[in-house]
Amino acid sequence: MPELPEVEIIRQELEPALHNCSIIKCTLNSPALRYPFSPDFAATLQGAKITATGRRGKYLQISLDNDYVLVWHLGMSGRVKIFALENLYTPEKHDHVHLALSGGGQVVYNDARRFGFMSLHRTDALAQCPPFGAMGPEPLGNHFSGTALHNALAQKKTPIKSALLDQGIVAGIGNIYACEALNDAAIHPGRPALSLSAQECETLARAIRDVLQKALAAGGSSLKDYRKTDGSLGYFQHMFSVYDRAGHPCPRCAEEGGKERPIQRMVQSGRSTFYCLHCQK
């Protein structure tokens, strides 16, 4: 389930492989990912030159010189494989999209669960079209702050955990980093979002940035080792404080020298939330 840090790392990996390259051939091995490919999908890509690689929230945005942008979401099992030369590529199960580039490079999209998707949008309409038009600020950008978060949560009665998953409030956060940030900020995931004080929003905004930046830093280094094998991205599970760690001691409580408190699991809106009953208030 790539969230903002994983998608950003993939973008950084794609940038040198794609920039100024033309797409020689686009091969689709499936009629659809989450959504069907548009009939002219491959034809629109073929012959286009890639002018930039961007990211907004969990979405990759590959700009082309034909006035289209390839919008690419990795769902939860999407993996991107990059090969410098054609003869290095061995097809694997769930390789749905294959891009052959000028210069011999290749980019492959593999997605076992097909929750991801690719679509093409006109460049000038991109910022207004769903989901970008209603998307909240980039958490690592200048428009995100404690004040901005406080304002965005002002009318939200929904639990703060659910609010953090709402891409309209802040972009790019998924289940893992929502849990991690709330633990870091010592805020209980079940609190109504509008009940957070300005100070708590300040703390939470800082925690969100910290958690994402740490994941980015760790991902950058772990990726170098991992991509030698198959080019895909792993998760940075070794650094999770609470996610998928029910029963393990809460690291915040351990840091403070207190008694070890086991991490709890509960379900909110059908999704697992991991938190510490003791320190998250």
Partner DNA sequence: CGGTACTCCTGAAGGC
Partner DNA sequence: TGCCTTCAGGAGTACC
Catalytic residues: 2-3, 58, 271
Site mask, DNA, residues 37-76, x = CB under 7 A? --------------------xxx-------------x-xx
Q: Please, which residues have CB within 8 angstroms of residue 224's CB and are 6 or more apart in sequence?
A: none
| Least gap, CB of 22 to DNA (angstroms) | 29
Secondary structure of residue 18 in the 3-state scheme: helix
- Residue 48 to residues 23, 62, 110, 223, Cα–Cα distance (Å): 6, 11, 22, 29
188 contributes a contact to DNA by CB under 7 A: no
Which of the residues 228 through 247 are near DNA (CB under 7 A)? Answer: 243-244
Cβ-based nearer residue to DNA, 17 or 121: 121
Distance in angstroms (rounded) separating the CA atoms of residues 206 and 165: 17
174 contacts DNA (rule: CB under 7 A): yes
> Rounded to whole angstroms, how far apart are CA atoms 239 and 121?
36
- Report the residue from 49, 52, 156, 248 that binds DNA according to the rule CB under 7 A: 156
Question: What residues contact residue 272 under an 8 Å CB cut-off, 6+ apart?
Answer: 175, 244, 265, 266
Selected from 26, 62, 176, 250, the binder of DNA by CB under 7 A is: 176
Nearer residue to DNA within complex by CB, 47 or 75: 75
From the list 111, 109, 85, the residue with the least C-alpha distance to 97 is 109
> Which of 79/100 has CB closer to DNA?
79
Nearer to DNA, 9 or 165 (CB): 165
Cβ(160)–Cβ(167) below 8 Å: no
- Type of residue found at 11: R
CB of residue 73 vs DNA: minimum separation in angstroms? 6
Regarding 175 and contact with DNA (CB under 7 A), the answer is yes
Q: Is residue 271 near DNA by the rule CB under 7 A?
A: yes
CB-count burial class (<10 Å; 0-12, 13-18, 19+) for 261: middle
Place of tokens 């907004």: 56
Beta carbon nearer to DNA, 174 or 251: 174
Positions in the binding site for DNA (CB under 7 A) = 1, 3, 34, 57-59, 73, 75-77, 93-94, 112-115, 130-131, 155-158, 162, 165, 167, 174-176, 243-244, 267, 269-272
